[in-house]
């Protein structure tokens, strides 16, 4: 098989009811390009038969190249593996649940042909999401935008096209706790956005429960901002400032015979408040130290049980083996 011009990377975690439709829609869209393409479907430890469905598709169609993980490693690492195995000159990351309509890929490709190296998709509307998801997502994007140094465009997910040059750079960034949409902005290159309507899930329920969302948000913040660490410094200065102002005030009150601020309650509140602030600051430190420790261990980012038959060139993949 000739090397494909386009690679579509789709992370899959228990999406069996969606896989046939995903394949059909992607094939329909990619055939319109008239160029060779591949679907790098990364099975992130599915337990619902998705793995067998992918194996069957691969047996029927050489364009389908499944990468099967030894267990669930999470969405961001599944996408990372997809980028490692993708061989195309342009690589599109797409959610498998068809919330990102594959038809938008054609528009991305035409922007890529105009010379853009990163084409991200901006959600102008989102269908079929709970108000909670919409509110937390909106808060998250605005927070990330404010506290990080890279200007990550708002309301963009991982649905994007990356030129092979960008993919090559991303492959060399082996950080464990990753926020790919931030990393793909951080690298620079010529970037642009296309607008799209985010559809409802084709079938099944979200694979991002609140626990995973919180972990994702803290990975995003810790990998692109030191603000939480600096917060302890700011709070320290504020409470030291307050106590310095309070000392002459209390002396003056005592001298004038005021009985305000007597008793244990005041002391107790002050001690508990400061204790709370200190514990939170320690916890924030812990978040960063834990991540440092993970990086220091240098374990592989993900473990592949089954590789596609048709392997990517050795030079590209040797990274994973050595890192
Ligand atoms: N996903 C994955 N591993 C996980 C969780 C999710 O590969 O641990 C995949 C999932 O199959 C889907 C994509 O990541 O293709 C986005 O997940 P989902 O649609 O559940 O997230 P949401 O759109 O609700 O934020
Ligand atoms: Mg989804």
* Residue 44 CB less than 6 A away from ligand 1: yes
Q: How many CB atoms lie within 10 A of CB 266?
A: 11
- Report whether 313 contacts 87 (CB < 8 A): yes
The torsion of the CA quartet 298, 301, 305, 309, rounded to 10 degrees, works out to -110
Is residue 140 lining ligand 1, measured as CB closer than 6 Å?
no
- The DSSP string of 11-76 is EESS-TTTHHHHHHHHHHHHHTTTS-EEEEEEE-S--SSHHHHHHHHHHH-TTEEEEEESS---HH
Q: What tokens does 44 get?
A: 């992130």
- CA 154 vs. chain centroid, Å, equals 14
Nearest ligand, CA of residue 13?
1
Q: Is 8:105 a contact under the CB 8 Å cutoff?
A: yes
> What is the number of the ligand 1 atom nearest to the C-alpha of 99?
23
Residue 196: its H or E element: strand 191-198
Distance 215 CA to ligand 1 centre (A): 14
**Closest residue CA from atom 13 of ligand 1:** 95
Q: How far, in Å, from the CA of 158 to the mean position of ligand 2?
A: 11
Supply the residue whose CA is at minimum distance from atom 2 of ligand 1. Answer: 75
Q: Which two tokens stand for residue 15?
A: 């999406």
Q: What is the per-residue burial (b if ≥16 Cβ within 10 Å, else e) of 85-97? A: bbbbbbbbbbbbb
pLDDT in tens, the chain (323 residues): 578 999 999 999 999 999 999 999 999 999 999 999 999 999 999 999 999 999 999 989 889 999 999 999 999 999 999 999 999 999 999 999 988 999 999 999 999 999 999 999 998 877 777 888 888 888 888 888 888 878 888 888 899 999 999 999 999 999 999 999 889 899 989 999 998 888 888 888 888 888 888 888 888 888 888 888 888 889 889 988 988 888 888 888 888 877 776 777 778 888 888 888 889 889 999 999 999 999 999 899 999 998 887 554 444 444 444 44
Per-residue CA distances from 55 to 88, 150, 292 (Å): 21, 39, 37
Q: Is the CB of 123 under 6 A from ligand 1?
A: no
Question: Ligand 2: distance of its center to the CA of 97 in Å?
Answer: 5
Residue 244 CA to ligand 1 centre (angstroms): 51
Query: Whole-prediction pTM value?
Result: 0.83
């Amino acid at each position: 098989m000739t090397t494909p011009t386009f690679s579509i990377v789709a992370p899959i975690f228990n999406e069996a009811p969606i896989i046939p439709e995903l394949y059909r829609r992607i094939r329909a869209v990619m055939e319109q390009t008239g160029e060779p393409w591949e679907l790098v479907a990364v099975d992130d430890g599915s337990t619902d038969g998705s793995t067998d469905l992918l194996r069957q598709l691969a047996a029927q169609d050489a364009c389908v190249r499944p990468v099967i993980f030894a267990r669930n490693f999470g969405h961001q690492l599944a996408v990372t593996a997809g980028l490692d195995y993708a061989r195309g000159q342009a690589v599109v990351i797409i959610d498998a649940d068809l919330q990102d309509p594959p038809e938008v890929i054609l528009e991305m490709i035409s922007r890529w042909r105009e010379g853009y190296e990163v084409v991200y998709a901006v959600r102008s509307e989102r269908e079929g999401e709970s108000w909670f998801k919409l509110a937390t997502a909106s808060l998250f994007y605005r927070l990330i935008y404010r506290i990080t140094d890279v200007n990550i465009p708002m309301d963009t997910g991982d649905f994007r096209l990356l030129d092979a040059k960008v993919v090559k750079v991303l492959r060399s960034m082996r950080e464990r706790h990753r926020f790919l949409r931030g990393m793909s902005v951080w690298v620079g290159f010529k970037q642009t956005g296309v607008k799209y309507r985010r559809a409802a899930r084709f079938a099944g329920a979200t694979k991002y429960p609140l626990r995973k969302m919180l972990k994702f948000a803290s990975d995003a913040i810790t990998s692109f901002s030191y603000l939480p660490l600096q917060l302890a410094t700011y709070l320290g200065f504020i409470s030291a400032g307050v106590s310095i102002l309070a000392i002459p005030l209390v002396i003056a009150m005592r001298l004038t015979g005021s009985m305000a601020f007597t008793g244990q309650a005041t002391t107790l509140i002050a001690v508990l408040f400061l204790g709370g602030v200190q514990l939170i600051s320690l916890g924030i430190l812990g978040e960063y130290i834990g991540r440092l420790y993970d990086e220091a261990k240098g374990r592989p980012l993900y473990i592949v049980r089954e590789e596609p038959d048709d392997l990517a060139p050795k030079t590209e993949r040797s990274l994973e083996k050595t890192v």
